[in-house]
Amino acid sequence: MDSDEICTPPDILELATEVTHNLLPEKSRNLYEKEYNNFLAWKIEKKTTSFSENVILAYLKDLSDKFKPSSMWAKYSMLKFTLNIYNNIDITKYSKIIAFLKRNSEGHKGKKSLTFTSGQLKMFLKDSPDILYLFEKVALIFGIMGACRRQELYNIQFDEVSNIDDGESW
pLDDT tens for 47-64 read: 999 999 999 999 999 999
The more confident residue out of 163 and 81 is 81
Burial class of residue 170, CB neighbours in 10 A (0-12, 13-18, 19+) = exposed
d(CA 4, CA 75): 30
Q: How far is 20 from 4, CA to CA, in rounded Å?
A: 15
Cα 73 → chain centroid: 11
Q: What is the pLDDT of residue 169?
A: 47
Let me know: does 96 contact 57? Beta carbons within 8 Å. Answer: yes
Q: End-to-end CA distance of the chain: give it in Å, rounded.
A: 53
SS3 110: coil
pLDDT at site 170: 42
Domain boundaries, the chain: 3-105, 118-166
pLDDT in tens, 119-160: 999 999 999 998 888 888 888 887 777 777 778 877 877 666
Entry pTM: 0.61
pLDDT score for 1: 54
Rounded Cα gap, residues 145 and 122, in angstroms: 13
Confidence (pLDDT) at 161: 58
Euclidean distance between CA atoms 119 and 98, whole angstroms: 43
DSSP state of 89: -
Average model confidence (pLDDT) across the chain: 84
Q: pLDDT exceeding 90 applies to what percent of the chain?
A: 43
pLDDT at 82: 93
Q: What is the pLDDT of residues 78-111, one digit of tens each?
A: 999 999 988 889 999 999 999 999 998 887 676 7
- pLDDT computed for residue 61 by the predictor: 95
